Amino acid sequence: MYIFTKYGELFMNGAIEKENLMLLYKAILTLQTEEECKNFFEDLCTFPELKAMSQRIAVANMLKQGYIYSDIVKETSASTATISRVNRSLTYGSDGYNTVLNRLSKSGDNN
């Protein structure tokens, strides 16, 4: 069972699930290159999972750049429900998208 607090923090039923989630976060933080990241996520995720995550970050990036929903749908094939969810996360979420997109923008890698 998953419980979301009003701050977007995720709590799971049971210590093992929480340990597994923390292990995942720590594992991601060990990755040092794009190639390592690519290899890890290709091993970890199915193609549909990777497609969904990459689509969401593209949607977030386009929303931050001021694109309208219809243009985002055309460019990414994301549903309006996905776009709304990402937009809600950008506005009311844990600031994860904003943190990543701001850092990518500073490095020039968000295009």
Residue 45 confidence (pLDDT): 97
Specify the pLDDT at position 36.
98
Q: Are 67 and 90 in contact (CB under 8 A)?
A: no
pLDDT, residue 66, reads: 97
In the chain, where are the structural domains located?
1-44, 46-111
**33 φ, ψ to 5°?**
-135, 165
Contact criterion met (CB below 8 Å) for 85 and 4: no
* Whole-number pLDDT of residue 31: 98
pLDDT of residue 108: 82
For the cut 80, the answer to whether the pLDDT of residue 73 exceeds it is: yes
According to CATH, the superfamily of the domain at 46-111 is TrpR-like (1.10.1270.10)
**What is residue 56's predicted lDDT score, i.e. its pLDDT?**
98
Give the chain's largest Cα–Cα span.
43
What is the spatial distance between Cα 53 and Cα 69, in angstroms, rounded to a whole number? 18
Distances (CA, A) of 106 to 24, 38, 60, 102: 26, 22, 16, 6
pTM flag (> 0.85): no
pLDDT for res 109: 77
3-state secondary structure of 2: strand
The string of pLDDT tens digits covering residues 6-65 is 444 555 556 667 788 899 999 999 999 999 999 999 999 999 999 999 999 999 999 999
